[in-house]
Chain A
């Protein structure tokens, strides 16, 4: 059976050959990382987009806040993977790695 996912507005729609279900709110929770994945990003994952899979793997292996991970995934679908990737590299470079460091608050 062929399934399709469509992300519109705040909802996601999963469609089969005959029926369409309004599936969830705008994001999915990705286990075991426990981060929320925006529906548009989930669509890329379900379509087997290699770049999307590689990027989400890099993000979930990093050590920063889950809401920031979700934000990076949103940036990836809205502004492109290169923009999101450059932010990710900066985050990784500035990771405290167990040693106290000074930061600006968000």
Chain B
């Protein structure tokens, strides 16, 4: 069975389709975006509350960056405890928004190579991110994996990184000759920092 509004489409994988269900028209309106396994009893709930279920599934689908197991847990809760499932989904949506913002910041710094933030400048160079402070210190943003580095980059970008958290900023080098132009800003000056070997 499939549910669609012509834009978004859910495929429901049922173990057996009863004869009564075969009277539904054939979906020629949209390709499915997501597949859910469902039992007959839960499908009756879907039949009764199609729009509510459809909206829930659409929201789940939007959490594309979230761990699959978390989504599965949220999905299975839907038929047992609706309120709890919706609360879990709201949390996953927050998580998804952070991941989306993280990706956006990461791609912006990667693309522009130099981005001004409240604590200095974020620089992208040779697959690494750096924070160049106004006093000429160049700090490499460390992390055990790419996601962790991206999250730290996001916090620096937003100015939400706490002082004690900045232990993950590894001192790389000091560029005294560039303190003056740096502290006075200017894209050209920053390009000098970017090109300076660290």
Contacts and interface: CB of A to CB of B under 8 A. Distances in A.
B22 A101 contact: no
Interface of A is mostly: loop
A105 B14 CA distance: 11
A53 interface: no
Interface stretch (B5-13, B140-148, B150-158, B178-186): B5-13
Contacts of B46: 102
B79 to A, nearest CB: 17
Given A96-B6, A100-B3, A65 B29 contact: yes
A96 B22 contact: no
B25 A90 contact: yes
Contacts of B54: 100
Interface in A29-63: 63
B27 A105 contact: yes
Contacts of A90: 25
Given A65-B30, A65-B31, A99 B5 contact: yes
B40 to A, nearest CB: 14
A102 B6 contact: no
Contacts of B28: 64-65, 68, 91, 106
Interface string B30-47: 111000000000000011
B22 A63 contact: no
Contacts of B50: 100-102
Interface residues of B, number: 25
B26 interface: yes
A72 B184 CA distance: 68
A1 interface: no
Nearest to B6: A96
Given A96-B29, A100-B50, A105 B5 contact: no
A103 B7 contact: no
A100 B25 contact: no
Interface in A67-106: 68, 90-91, 94-106
A28 to B, nearest CB: 22
Most chain A CB atoms below 10 A, which of B3, B27, B46: B27
B113 interface: no
A100 B47 CA distance: 11
A45 B49 CA distance: 46
Contacts of A100: 3-5, 50-51, 54
Contact of B3 (A97, A98, A102, A106): A102
Most chain B CB atoms below 10 A, which of A90, A102, A105: A102
A64 B26 CA distance: 11
